[in-house]
Every structure is written in C-alpha cells, then in structure tokens.
Amino acid sequence: MIKYVLFALLLGGLVGYVNGVWGGVWVDGVMGVVFDGALLVLLFVMGLSFGLDKEAVGRLRRVGFRILVLPLCIAAGSVFGGFVGGLVFGVDVVGSMAVCAGFGWYTLAGPLVGQLMGSELGALGFVVNFLRELLTIVTVSVTAKMGKYVTVAFGGATTMDTTLPVIVRYCGSEALIAAFSSGFVLSVMAPFVITAIASLR
C-alpha cells in the first residue's frame, strides 16, 4: 500500500512541476475535476461499505447516542490542536485547523483542503494526516498502556479501518465498538468540518 501512495505522490509532484514549468492551465482544470470526482467516489464507497455491513450497523444501533461523545471530544481536540499548532509554528491558523480536521483521513484531507485553501495547505493536509495514521500504528503498544480511549483518540478517523486491527490486538476486543464507531463518526464529520473551517477564511 505504501508503495502506491509514494508512487502517486511522486507522480503528482512531477505533474505539478511540469505544469509550473510550462504554465499549462489545463492541468488546473483537470485537477479540479479529478479532485471532485475522487471525493465523490470516496464518500460513495464509504457509504456503500457501511450499508452492506449489517453486523457493524447492528453494533452501532445497540450502543445508541453514546457513540457520539468520544468522537466529538476527539474532533474538538484535533481542531484545537490545529489552532495551537498554527500559533506555535506560524502557519495560517484557519488553514492549520482545517488540516487537523481531517482526523487522520489523509486521502480526503489533502485534496479537499487543497481545493478549498490552496495546494500548499493541501500538501500539509496530506502529510499531517498520513503521519497521524502512521504514528498511531507505530506507537500503539505505548498508547494502549495509557488506555484504549487514548489509542482511539490518537487514531482519529482511521480507527474504523486501517488502524482498527492493531487497536483490537493491543487494547482487546472491548475496544472494537468504541474504535469502529468513533472512526465512522469522524469520517462522516471530516468533510463537513473541513469545509466549515475553510469558510471562516
């Protein structure tokens, strides 16, 4: 998986360089269509996968509205962390909050932030959220000792898919519902929160 991500990143850098050298406006138009299409496909596939998974839907129904407490706290903490990070590192504060509102979903945060706030912040959105997922996997053995909710919070939106297996392995099966539901809610929230923050600019 990592090799495909790196290949796509290098290819995107090459296309951007060629566009910058030749000044081809066509690339900007094509990228706008590609970004829009990719976002729609991602959201459609996510909705379809949850609609088909009856067991996951059943678990979420049993837990009820309590599933919203943890992801809402994680979302607030992530956006606040972006605010503080923007002040500390001298980055555009609104852009920094939008980047962190990806909650670890780098395939969404990079293109969406880039489309709404410019390519520089889009690249930052990709890197920051990619590192959040990567660090969750690398540090799970440490964060699991602090508590399962710490690990779930660290993973953000990734806890419903990519980081779920390692969280369950280190935190136990009792962390499954909390991790899965939190990741799901954060994934649904991410595009709306990013768009709302971007509108403050």
In three state form, how does the secondary structure of the chain look?
CHHHHHHHHHHHHHHHHHHHHHCCHHHHHHHHHHHHHHHHHHHHHHHHHHHHCHHHHHHHHHHHHHHHHHHHHHHHHHHHHHHHHHHHHCCCHHHHHHHHCCCCCHHHHHHHHHHHHCHHHHHHHHHHHHHHHHHHHHCHHHHHHHCHHHHHHHHHHHHHCCCHHHHHHHHCHHHHHHHHHHHHHHHHHHHHHHHHHHCCC
The letter for the amino acid at 152 is V
Nearest to residue 151, comparing CAs of 129, 126, 133?
Answer: 133
Whole-number Å distance between alpha carbons of 194 and 117 = 10
Closest CA to 193 of 145, 149, 156, 142: 156
Dump pLDDT digits (tens) for 111-140.
Answer: 999 999 998 999 999 999 999 998 998 888
Tens of pLDDT, residue by residue over 151-185, are: 999 999 999 888 888 888 888 877 878 888 899 89
Is residue 5 pLDDT above 70, yes or no?
no
Q: What is the pLDDT at residue 12? A: 75
Q: How many residues does the chain have?
A: 201
**Angstrom distance (rounded) from CA 133 to CA 150:** 14
pTM for the complete prediction? 0.72
Residue 1 has pLDDT above 50, yes or no: no
pLDDT digits (tens, 9 = 90+) for 30-76: 666 776 777 677 667 666 766 676 666 676 677 667 778 999 999 99
Higher pLDDT, 39 or 78: 78
Q: Which two tokens stand for residue 69?
A: 């407490």
